């Protein structure tokens, strides 16, 4: 695409990625193995894990310049089932931004399990975007373990575009007073795809806030599940915790299962949860068509509007716009060729 980035190791020319922004450093995992270590001008370091995966260290007090994109790719060099762990350490008083992408380059029946631990030390701040774009035979489970210290902030936005079976399991523990954790997600599924999301949000100490907003659009015979549990410990007074899961079903054969839960042991808290499933608004569609908008475009506009409040949680305006373009392309059916293609080009 001719985009200039800080660092881009050689990868197969057939691979395309239009997501990274100018000034983004790129790091590649090929079948779970880090291609090359990375260090940016602000001191953020990416090294290989002991066995596989990556280890990111954001030093204390560092304000990261730009962002780092970690691109995890499966290809025919290793078609076996693999499992690896990744670690992100956010030093005290630091601020950082990361984009984590998963892709497949061949049509092999990949099975991948990856673990991502995020340790946010006191007064650190980090924005993390995860984009999943794999083919119709790919099974990928990501386990997130997030620990937040005093006054820390972590926002994770997950955009799930494509894959046969994708599972995101997130456990977040707010362990220091004043911690704030935000989890947001979009998942799009059609055909026989299945997407499962599980969240456990643990408030362990007083004066912490959390929010969750997940939305899905399902078509054909796709399936999705959302299980969300907020746990408030006995001494975690003055907690504020909110959870929402909403789903749009475009086909009568599409199915979604939602299980929101509250487990509260403190008495001075503000907590809520909600889950809905519905179909396109026929009245809104009629109104748009009466104003000269075609039926297909009217349905698309309603779907984009449905997920936009999740996309706007992405703080980087330019990155948000690029991901919105990808979501729109997916909803327009421009990924339909992916049934017989390994790339799902982004």
Mean pLDDT by 10 residues, the chain (346 residues): 43 54 84 94 93 96 92 93 97 96 92 97 97 93 98 97 96 98 97 97 98 96 96 96 96 94 94 90 80 85 92 91 90 62 46
pLDDT at 258: 94
State the alpha helices, DSSP H only, in 223-333: 282-290, 295-311, 317-331
Distance CA 307, CA 94 (A): 31
φ and ψ at residue 154, rounded to 5 degrees: -135, 125
- 3-class secondary structure, 87: strand
Which residues form the domain of 196? 24-340
Distance CA 267, CA 51 (A): 45
Split into its structural domains, the chain has a count of 1
Distance CA 15, CA 26 (A): 14
- Contacting residues for 290 by C-beta, under 8 A, at least 6 apart: none
pLDDT at 271: 94
pLDDT at 345: 46
pLDDT at 86: 97
- Contacting residues for 198 by C-beta, under 8 A, at least 6 apart: 167, 168, 169, 170, 226, 227, 228
Residue pair 334/341 in contact by the 8 Å Cβ criterion: no
Nearest Cα neighbor of 272 from 308, 306, 228, 227 is: 228
pLDDT at 3: 40
Output DSSP code: residue 252: T
Q: How many residues does the chain have?
A: 346
Residue pair 338/162 in contact by the 8 Å Cβ criterion: yes
pLDDT at 288: 83
Residue pair 133/161 in contact by the 8 Å Cβ criterion: yes
- 3-class secondary structure, 131: strand
- Is 29 among the domain residues? yes
Pairing of strands 45-48, 54-58: antiparallel
Pairing of strands 269-278, 239-249: parallel
pTM of the model: 0.91
């Amino acid at each position: 695409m001719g985009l200039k980035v800080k660092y881009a190791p050689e990868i197969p020319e057939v691979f395309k990625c239009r997501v990274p922004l100018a000034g983004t450093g790129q790091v590649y995992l090929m079948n779970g193995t880090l291609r090359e270590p990375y260090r940016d001008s602000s001191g953020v370091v990416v090294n290989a894990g002991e066995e596989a995966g990556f280890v990111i260290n954001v030093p204390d007090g560092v304000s990261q310049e730009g962002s780092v994109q970690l691109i995890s790719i499966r290809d025919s060099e290793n078609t076996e089932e693999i499992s690896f762990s990744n670690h992100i350490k956010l030093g005290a008083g630091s601020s950082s931004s990361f984009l984590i992408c998963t892709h497949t380059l061949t049509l092999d029946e990949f099975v991948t399990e990856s673990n991502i631990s995020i340790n946010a030390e006191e007064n650190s701040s980090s924005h993390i975007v995860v984009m999943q774009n794999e083919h119709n035979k790919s099974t990928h489970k990501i386990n997130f373990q997030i620990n937040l210290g005093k006054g820390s902030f972590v926002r994770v936005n997950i955009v799930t575009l494509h894959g046969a079976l994708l599972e995101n399991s997130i456990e977040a523990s707010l362990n220091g007073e004043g911690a704030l954790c935000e989890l947001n997600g979009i998942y799009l599924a059609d055909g026989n795809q299945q997407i499962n999301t599980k969240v456990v949000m643990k408030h362990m100490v007083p004066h912490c806030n959390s929010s969750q907003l997940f939305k899905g659009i399902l078509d054909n015979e796709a399936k999705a599940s959302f299980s969300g549990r907020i746990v408030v410990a006995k001494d975690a007074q003055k907690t504020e915790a909110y959870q929402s899961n909403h789903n749009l079903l475009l086909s009568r054969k599409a199915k979604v299962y939602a299980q929101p839960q509250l487990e509260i042991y403190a008495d001075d808290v503000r907590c809520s949860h909600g889950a809905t499933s519905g179909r396109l608004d026929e009245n809104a569609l009629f109104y748009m068509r009466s104003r000269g908008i075609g039926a297909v475009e009217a349905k698309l506009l309603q779907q984009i509007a449905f997920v936009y409040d999740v996309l706007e949680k992405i703080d980087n305006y330019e990155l948000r716009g690029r991901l919105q373009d990808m979501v729109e392309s997916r909803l327009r059916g421009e990924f339909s060729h992916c049934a017989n293609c390994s790339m799902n080009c982004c």
